[in-house]
Amino acid sequence: MYYKWAHKKQIVDTPNERSSHTHQPVRGMGFVFPILFVLVSIYTWSGTEYIFADSPFFPMYKAIGLLWIGASVLLIGITGYLDDRLDLRSYIRLPLYTLSAVIGLAPILINWSYGALWMVILLVVIIGVINSYNFMDGINGITGFYSIVLLGSIYYLFDMTQLGLYINDFLRIIVFCIAYLLAFGIFNFRKKALAFLGDAGSVSLGLFVCIILVWAGILHQRFDVIVLLLVYGVDSVGTIVMRIIKRENIFKAHRSHLYQDLVHIKGLSHLKVALLYALVQLIINIQYFYYYAQKNIVLYIYLGGLISIYLICKKSLGTLQLTATNS
Question: What residue ranges do the domains of the chain occupy?
Answer: 23-316
CB 246 within 8 A of CB 324: yes
Q: Is the pLDDT confidence value at 61 over 70?
A: no
Task: Look at residue 51 in the predicted model and tell me its pLDDT.
Answer: 43
Task: Report how far residue 27's alpha carbon sits from residue 200's, in angstroms, rounded to the nearest whole number.
Answer: 10
Confidence grade of residue 63 (pLDDT, cut at 50, 70, 90): very low
Q: Residue 195 carries which DSSP code?
A: B
**Predicted local confidence at residue 245, as pLDDT:** 87
Rounded CA separation 104/67 (Å): 9
- The pLDDT, as a whole number, for residue 249 is 77
pLDDT in tens, 298-311: 778 888 889 999 99
What is the rounded CA–CA span in Å between residue 134 and residue 122?
19
Q: Is the pLDDT of residue 74 over 80?
A: yes
More confident: 319 or 63: 319
Q: Which pLDDT belongs to residue 327?
A: 46
- Checking if the pLDDT of 187 tops 90, the result is yes
0.85 exceeded by pTM: yes
pLDDT over 60 (residue 62): no
Distance between CA atoms of 211 and 235, rounded to whole angstroms?
21
Across the strands, what pairs with 12?
A: 26
Asked whether residue 185 carries a pLDDT value surpassing 50, the answer given is yes
pLDDT at 269: 94
Residue 136: closest CA among 228, 270, 269: 270
The C-alpha atoms of residue 49 and residue 242 are separated, in whole angstroms, by: 50
Contacts with 212 (C-beta within 8 Å, 6 or more apart), sequence order: 154, 158, 170, 174
Alpha helices in the chain (DSSP H): 2-9, 32-46, 57-64, 67-86, 90-104, 106-109, 116-136, 142-159, 165-188, 198-220, 230-245, 258-264, 270-290, 297-316
The pLDDT score that the predictor gives to residue 216 is 87
CB 127 within 8 A of CB 175: no
CA count, 13 A, side-chain hemisphere, 206: 31
Residue 73 has pLDDT above 90, yes or no: yes
Phi, psi of 28 (to 5 degrees): 85, 20
What is the residue-averaged pLDDT of the chain? 85
Whole-Å CA distances, 311 to 19, 36, 188, 280, 325: 24, 40, 29, 16, 20
User: Is the pLDDT confidence value at 53 over 50?
Assistant: no
pLDDT band at 149 (very low <50, low <70, confident <90, very high): very high
Please give the pLDDT value at position 19: 53
pLDDT, average across residues 187-209: 93
Q: How confident is the model at residue 265 (pLDDT cuts 50, 70, 90)?
A: very high
In terms of Cβ atoms closer than 10 Å to its own Cβ (0-12, 13-18, 19+), residue 302 is buried
Inter-residue contact 264 to 255 (CB < 8 Å)? yes
pLDDT tens per residue, range 78-122? 999 998 888 888 889 999 999 999 999 988 888 888 889 999 999
The DSSP call for residue 227 is G
Q: Which of 75, 275, 83, 95 is nearest to 197 (CA)?
A: 83
Q: Report how far residue 281's alpha carbon sits from residue 45's, in angstroms, rounded to the nearest whole number.
A: 31
Sign of torsion over alpha carbons 307, 312, 313, 319: positive
Q: What's the pLDDT at 77?
A: 95
Phi, psi (deg, nearest 5) at residue 195: -155, 155
**Tell me: the pLDDT tens digits for 231-259?**
999 999 999 998 888 888 776 778 889 99
Residue 12 gets which letter from DSSP? B
In the chain, pLDDT over 70 holds for what percent of residues? 86
Distance CA 301, CA 184 (A): 34
pLDDT at 56: 53
SS (H, E, C) 178-193: HHHHHHHHHHHCCCCC
